[in-house]
Amino acid sequence: MKKGSYRRRSLSLGRRLLCDALYFARADYMAAAERTMRLADVSAARQEASPRPSWAAIITKAFALAARDHPEMRQVHLGFPWSHICEFETQAASVAVTRRVNDEDMVFLAPLVNPEEQSLQDLDARLRYYQETPVEEIRAFRDALRIARLPTLLRRLLWGISLWLLPRRRLKHFGTFCVTTMSPFGAKTITVPTLGSPILHYGAMTDAGEVPVGIAFDHRIMDGAVVGYTLLEMEQVLRHQITAELRSMKKAAFAA
């Protein structure tokens, strides 16, 4: 290639989806809070559990249990046709899952309805389904690819309708909160743009058994105190309810 030359490349399907998400992200109203949680006992109980659930399943359930008594965590600000708050009756998680499509890593949102009511084993099995089943066989992923292939204006129109006009579609496609992490790579997420719903992110565990857990949230919906209480309660849930469930999985395995 000659010096100073270049070539133009079209956006891939994955980059289109990310560009659309960032287009609608409410960075101007976003705030974030983080807590370093002491989870050495949780990690030890997980190591002995059979089958061993993923950290994604553990973190998702723990947050859902802690957030269920905080209605702000199920709320979203809608600006059309007037400025108001929409509060959902149920919780639904959208867990970021990376899949390989056309020689490219793409991030999809795996929906989990009422995670606080499901066992860790069931949640983990559902996440493995989203991670291992062919992409074209998963309806949520197939729909995302179909939208990504549309022209920009039409894509943005569909995103806007789902996010701001039809709350039921928003709940179905985006949930009441999202979960993401870079911990498998030993990295930490610094900036997490939000689509209005809380985004839970966590890092890798240190040798001392500490895990940084943060929540990016819409400041129009809640103040930092609510997020701080939720993170505190989440750590307690992890160290008690979740640890007890993990230990019961060990006992069940021995009984079998």
**Cα dist from 90 to 2, 72, 116, 175, whole Å:** 58, 12, 10, 9
Instruction: Please give the pLDDT value at position 78.
Output: 87
Question: Percentage of residues in the chain with pLDDT exceeding 90?
Answer: 71
Identify the structural domains of the chain with CATH numbers, from first to last: 13-249 (3.30.559.10)
Is residue 148's pLDDT more than 60? yes
Which residue type occupies 166? L
Highest mean pLDDT among 42-46, 162-166, 186-190: 42-46
* 251 vs 38, residue with greater confidence: 38
Is residue 192's pLDDT more than 80? no
d(CA 13, CA 19): 10
Instruction: Please give the pLDDT value at position 8.
Output: 83
Instruction: Please give the pLDDT value at position 180.
Output: 92
240 pLDDT tier (thresholds 50, 70, 90): very high
What is the enclosing helix (H) or strand (E) of 224? helix 224-237
22 pLDDT tier (thresholds 50, 70, 90): confident
Which residue is it, tokens 């690819």?
145
What is the separation, in whole angstroms, between the first and last Cα of the chain? 64
For the whole model, what pTM was predicted? 0.90
pLDDT digits (tens, 9 = 90+) for 51-78: 999 999 999 999 999 999 999 999 999 8
Is residue 235's pLDDT more than 60? yes
